[in-house]
Amino acid sequence: MSKRIESETIGNALKLLTENIGTAHAQTERLIIIGVADGGIEVARRLGHQLSELWGRKVTVGFVNALFHRDDITERSIFKAYMRTDIPESVDDATVILVDDVLFSGRTIRAALNELFDNGRPKAVELAVLCDRGHRKLPVAANYTGMTLETRRTEKVRVFLDEEAAQNDYLTVEEQ
């Protein structure tokens, strides 16, 4: 059985993330939004844009590719076009909001933290996720969650965010 969540719900989840981060960090001097490749990149871009509009100042957005820090790298194929980590300014002494689309076992976040710390030493790191589906294998929890889904471990959650038109966004939950 498949479940589909449409763009309005995703938009509301992004709005909730923006409001909560916006409230918590309105006075934070150096805030950097870092998306976890692949799924967290578009979520981070949108959060950065919405926070920039909310605060009336530019918010730095970058991304990390945690592929080579994963503990299951031998089980995964390496993409032909390897996406390099791109953080436009130093993370040293900055508050970093690490952003991903789906939080599941916690293993991707652990790998992303390793990649982030390879690039400097932030003052603080917080986690924002569009969707928390549970089933942790590591003690990882999001500071900011857009939506929580009850899923079975055997299901796959896929998020599709259209860079051109947010009304085309959707999320599916399907058996693997």
- Say which CATH number the domain at 159 has: 3.40.50.2020
State the residue range of the domain holding 99.
3-23+30-71+79-175
Residue type, 174: E
Alpha-carbon span 170 to 147, nearest angstrom: 13
Q: What is the pLDDT of residues 23-70, one digit of tens each?
A: 999 999 999 999 999 899 999 999 999 999 999 999 999 999 987 765
pLDDT class for 80, splitting at 50, 70, 90? very low
For the chain, what is the domain count?
1
Residue 143 has pLDDT above 60, yes or no: yes
pLDDT the model gives residue 83: 72
**The pTM is what?**
0.92
Quote the pLDDT of residue 71: 62
Beta carbons within 8 Å of 29's beta carbon, 6+ residues apart: none
Distance of alpha carbon 149 from alpha carbon 143, whole angstroms = 16
> Environment class of residue 35 by beta-carbon count within 10 Å: exposed (0-12), middle (13-18) or buried (19+)?
buried
